[in-house]
Amino acid sequence: MTSWHCDDKEWMKQRRTEWREVQKKVNALRFLDKEWKPAVKHYYLTGEESGGDFCIKTLGFAPLIEMWFNPDDSSGNWERIRNKYKETSKWEYSKFRCYEVISGLGRLYFYKSNDSFFNGNEERLFDLFFQRGLKRECHSDKTDDEFKKYAWDKFRGRASHIFWSLYDDTCNPFNAINFQLDEWRDSFILSYDPERKELEWVVQLVDETLEAPDKFSSERYMLAVKVNAVLEDVTLPEAAKERIREFRARPCHPHCIDFEADDDEA
């Protein structure tokens, strides 16, 4: 049974009104090319996958669009949508693209408004598609060297996301970085390299926030507390613990920003 009520004039009127706000978010998606937007609107209003020359289900992050736009946001319906795509040969690619969108949205200044992009459902969506943490046994297709590089890429990507979320103060509870800290901790343990600067920059901003909480938003402070819990995790490599102690013992942390704002978050 469809969740859309296209024969109900009042329902459709309300749906069109709601689209005006949703459209602002759609326009902010740098992952969605302009030519797809009429099809996306058509799906939102009618539930029909084909709109004009484009079909929603061929979109890279189609599972995410379907869940977001479906009037029925129950867990059962979302699992049905996910499982529909899991049965296709393009599932791994679709999952990657969904991850890219949810993770990449943390870059948007939209999150400065302390609002939600997905109607408060960021964490639900994240957990539906992805596993928290980073475990060697889940990547048996990779050699040890490949996995270590993969872990390092995750560490640097998450460190960049943490840095810019703190620096730009886009730290609200719906920012995906809140759900990626387990992965950052695990990648930290698996791939720590004392020669790299990423850790130093994160420590700098965390300490700056914790030392003067009144200067920053409560959301930035709460994210800094969560990140600091990772920095003080007893399972971190001894070399990393020592490095963190060295940073914090300096009279002031060097202010050195060199992350690329458009780092790949995948």
Q: Residues 40-75, buried b or exposed e (16+ Cβ, 10 A)?
A: bbbbbbebebebeebebbebbbbbbbbbbbbeebee
Cα end-to-end distance, the chain, whole Å: 35
Q: Is residue 29 situated within a structural domain?
A: no
Q: Is residue 236 situated within a structural domain?
A: yes
Closest CA to 253 of 211, 214, 217, 224: 211
User: What's the pLDDT band for 215 if we cut at 50, 70, 90?
Assistant: very high
Range of the domain at 205: 131-266
Length of the chain: 266
Q: What percent of the chain has pLDDT over 90?
A: 45
Q: Is residue 68 situated within a structural domain?
A: no
Which single residue is written with the structure tokens 């084909």? 50
User: What's the pLDDT band for 164 if we cut at 50, 70, 90?
Assistant: confident
C-alpha 185/C-alpha 163 separation (Å) is 15
Domain count, the chain: 1
Q: Is residue 124 situated within a structural domain?
A: no
Query: Out of 26-30, 37-41, 67-71, 211-215, which region has the weakest mean confidence (pLDDT)?
Result: 26-30
Q: What percent of the chain has pLDDT over 70?
A: 89
Task: Give the H or E element holding residue 224.
Answer: helix 218-231
Question: Hey, what are 107's tokens?
Answer: 């870059």
Q: What is the mean pLDDT of residues 186-204?
A: 86
Q: Is residue 10 situated within a structural domain?
A: no
* Amino acid at the residue 61: F
Q: Is residue 179 situated within a structural domain?
A: yes
Which single residue is written with the structure tokens 């995410």? 64
* Amino acid at the residue 168: D
Identity of the highest mean pLDDT range in 27-31, 174-178, 204-208, 261-265:
204-208
User: CB–CB of 106/161 below 8 Å?
Assistant: yes
User: What's the pLDDT band for 1 if we cut at 50, 70, 90?
Assistant: low
Residue 228 has a pLDDT of: 96
The half-sphere exposure of 260 on its side-chain side, counting CA atoms within 13 A, is: 6
| Model pTM above 0.75 | yes
Residue 114 has a pLDDT of: 66
Q: Is residue 213 situated within a structural domain?
A: yes
Whether residue 259 is predicted with pLDDT greater than 50 in this model: the reply is no
* Amino acid at the residue 102: I
Q: Is residue 94 situated within a structural domain?
A: no
